Amino acid sequence: MICWERGMELRWFFLALLGCAGAESPSMFGEITSPNYPQAYPNNALTTWDIRVPEGYGIRLYFTHMDIELSEDCEYDALQVIIGKEVQKFFCGRHLFGSNGFPREKFYPTTHMKLLFKSDFSNQERYTGFAAYYVAADVDECNMHDPCSHFCNNYIGGFFCSCPPEYELQEDQITCGVNCSGGLYTDLRGQIRSPGYPSPYPENSRCEYRVLLESGYQVILSFKSEDFDVEATENGSCIYDSLMIKAKGQKFGPYCGKTPPPRIETGSNEVDIEFVTDSGGDNKGWKIYYSEDAIPCPTDVFHHSILNPQKRKYLFKDMITVKCEEGYELVSGKKRLPSFRAKCQGDGTWSNSNLRCQPVDCGDPEQLVNADVKFTQTTYGEKAVYKCKNEYYSLKGDDTYSCSGDGLWINSAQKTDLPKCAPVCGKTSFSLTSRIFGGEKAKNGYFPWLVLVDMTTNIGGGSLISDRWVVTAAHILKDHTTKPTLKVGDVNHQKGTTVHVKKVILHPEWAVDVDDRKNFNNDIALLQLERKIELGECICPICLPEKGETTHPAIEEVGVIAGWGEAFRVKDTNKIIRIATPNTLQYTRVPLQNLEECKKKVPETYTITSNMLCAGEKGHDSCPGDSGGPLMYQDPKNKDKKRFYIAGIVSWGLECGDFGMYTKVQNYVDWIEKTIEKVEEEEKDEEQLEPLKVCKKV
């Protein structure tokens, strides 16, 4: 029988036991005793009780008996009260209920606890343990943690919140707030106020307003300093209460404090206003003045566009014509448009604004023969720079081209004409300052334009005057149809590179098929090679004489001749004893003679004209096999650069070792240039072969 000190509690306790006896788990009450109670509890005991009561209740624990071996901190034997993972209380010792210091009962505000009883190896005094009851007791949530924003109402097993007049319980069933959402404003001008303004606005509220104007107008929001008072933190942060404006994907705010927001041009005819408050404060709120303005469209449709007509401001329904700035073009898919029409729309955007002005692309600059071109980009304003491959070519024309707004690469004169890498002529390592006695063997690089002309039955010489043309004597070629084989690139013609001829062009006034020739007037011909030759140190052209030049070469001026012809003759009783034809190119120095003096030494049966030059002296002359080769002089205007030009072509003579007659090239420069120009114009559309590489890098 349990003895209660308070009769009311005892009666209530038994009613609870009877009323809840049939309740399902979790239980409303229960009894717990130590093992073997009321006998002595065993040694090494370890027993656990799991106590659960329904939600909304706590656990009240009543002890009716307590007799557990006493030790410091209840180390030996003890009853533990465990909530969660923490031990809330240890019980041990012998207690008479009603004595000071022992809590006969204790309330635990939890729905779940564990009791754990343990004993050690010795219970010599036969301690009898404990007896207790637990009862589910109502929790007064209102007094414990004040869960409601306004009014808290407790009932057995739970609580509910309520609100003062004009407030409504929010979805969380805890917070009271004012229903201030749903305001729609469609007038062109008006005012919007926070709830109760100028009285303090309600706490725990979320107010939403919308301004919706006719398409083509934007909402303008303005504020006055006396009409803005929203709670803020000491550092000005808007984490307590805040005003936020949303329009056309933009956010303005949050705003709070006593400084009003600036005038806001929202750019949209639809504006949402959101006002959020927390549970504290007594600020008076705000007033917004809204008005309308026609929505402007941007002053450019997109980057690099030009609008016509041009205005400081474009408004709804304005029409314009759009084109691109210089260097840009309108692109729609794969089509290019000169311009298009656009309309300012109600949302402040232009129609057809999906088009774009893209930089004009000139494409890769055209490649040049014997040149490289460097560039990084091919769009408007970019540069392309041409440079010849090596020192044996010279760039004629501008080297820098710009990508124009028309999509063309143009030079400084706004022309598309490309430059050319023209061959550098007359470049040699030979110097006339060297003393020459008789014939000498040439070294590679001395006369890199010399060409051996092989007609099978006889040989001759020729001179490269460009990367595809050779000038020689007409008399060694016989006719137009006979094409010789050429050897180039080495002073030893046996080591030279074989080059084939595409076309033979004799001077039109050269007399063909003459048996006993005494007339060598117009003894000149051109050979077109099958393909161009890539110039280098072993092969490059000789210069042609300057047009109109009359002072050079002068009488007695020393020139040079070279060839693979007969090196010498040994005579005995007017008979040729030995003729030497060398493999290595021979050269010698010859002075220019007075043509009239030479004419006196020639039989009258021979024709001598102003198209001829006379050069040579005893022991220095050309011989058979040298015909077609050049009579060379150093350009007096380019002595520092050692440029040589061809003044004559070996034509005829009476005998070796005295003097010889040469075709005067200066008289034929026009014919040479016009003939080459005509042929190349006729063949401009033909596919060209890759230039032939003759020089080999060591």
Calculate mean pLDDT across residues 262-276: 93
pLDDT of residue 516: 79
Of the listed 149, 242, 627, 651, which one is catalytic? Answer: 627
CA 669 to each of CA 217, 303, 468, 533, 561: distance values in angstroms, whole numbers, following the listed order: 81, 58, 16, 22, 20
Residue 395 pLDDT class (50, 70, 90 cuts): very high
pLDDT of residue 141: 82
Rounded distance between C-alpha atoms, residue 565 and residue 622, angstroms: 8
Q: Name the binding residues for Ca(2+).
A: 69, 77, 120, 122, 138-139, 141, 154-155, 158, 231, 241, 278
Residue 628 pLDDT class (50, 70, 90 cuts): very high
- Catalytic residue status for 475: yes
Assigned CATH topology for domain 371-423:
Complement Module; domain 1 (2.10.70)
The closest alpha carbon to 496, from 444, 548, 458, 541, belongs to 444
CA 2 to each of CA 6, 13, 62, 176: distance values in angstroms, whole numbers, following the listed order: 12, 11, 10, 48
pLDDT of residue 100: 55
* Tokens linked to 91: 């019980």
Inform me whether the pLDDT recorded for 573 exceeds 70: no
Pick 143-176's CATH classification: 3.30.300.130, 3.30.470.20, 2.10.25.10, 3.40.50.720: 2.10.25.10
Q: Which of 396-405, 471-480, 509-518 has the lowest mean pLDDT?
A: 509-518
Inform me whether the pLDDT recorded for 232 exceeds 60: yes
Calculate mean pLDDT across residues 491-498: 91
Residue 147 pLDDT class (50, 70, 90 cuts): confident
pLDDT of residue 144: 75
pLDDT of residue 179: 73
CATH of domain 440-682: 2.40.10.10
Q: What percent of the chain has pLDDT over 90?
A: 54
Q: Which of 138-142, 254-258, 371-375 has the lowest mean pLDDT?
A: 138-142
Helix (H) / strand (E) containing 270 = strand 270-276
pLDDT of residue 169: 84
Going from N- to C-terminal start, the domains of the chain cover 7-139, 143-176, 178-294, 305-359, 371-423, 440-682
Q: Which residues contact 224 (CB under 8 A, 6 or more apart)?
A: 260, 287, 289
Rounded distance between C-alpha atoms, residue 593 and residue 555, angstroms: 6
Of the listed 95, 205, 466, 475, which one is catalytic? Answer: 475
Top CATH class, 305-359 = mainly beta
Task: Point out which residues pair with 395 in neighbouring strands.
Answer: 421
Inform me whether the pLDDT recorded for 609 exceeds 90: yes
pLDDT of residue 336: 83
Rounded distance between C-alpha atoms, residue 88 and residue 82, angstroms: 6
At residue 202, the 3 state secondary structure works out as coil
Rounded distance between C-alpha atoms, residue 488 and residue 260, angstroms: 93
Tens of pLDDT, residues 650-686? 998 887 767 889 999 999 999 999 999 999 999 988 8
- Catalytic residue status for 627: yes
Expressed in angstroms, the distance from the first to the final Cα of the chain is 124
pLDDT of residue 264: 95
Q: Which residues contact 589 (CB under 8 A, 6 or more apart)?
A: 432, 436, 558, 559, 560, 620
∠ CA 130-131-135 to the nearest 5 degrees? 135
Q: Which of 17-21, 175-179, 538-542 has the lowest mean pLDDT?
A: 17-21
Of the listed 490, 523, 621, 626, which one is catalytic? Answer: 523
Tens of pLDDT, residues 196-229? 899 888 888 888 999 999 888 899 999 999 999 9
* Tokens linked to 343: 């309309």
Residue 497 pLDDT class (50, 70, 90 cuts): very high
Pick 178-294's CATH classification: 2.60.120.290, 3.40.50.150, 1.10.3720.10, 3.40.50.1390: 2.60.120.290
For 167, other C-beta atoms within 10 Å of its C-beta total 19
Inform me whether the pLDDT recorded for 313 exceeds 70: yes
pLDDT of residue 3: 35
pLDDT of residue 158: 84
CATH of domain 7-139: 2.60.120.290
pLDDT of residue 383: 96
Rounded distance between C-alpha atoms, residue 269 and residue 313, angstroms: 18
* The domains spanning 305-359 and 440-682 adopt the same CATH topology: no
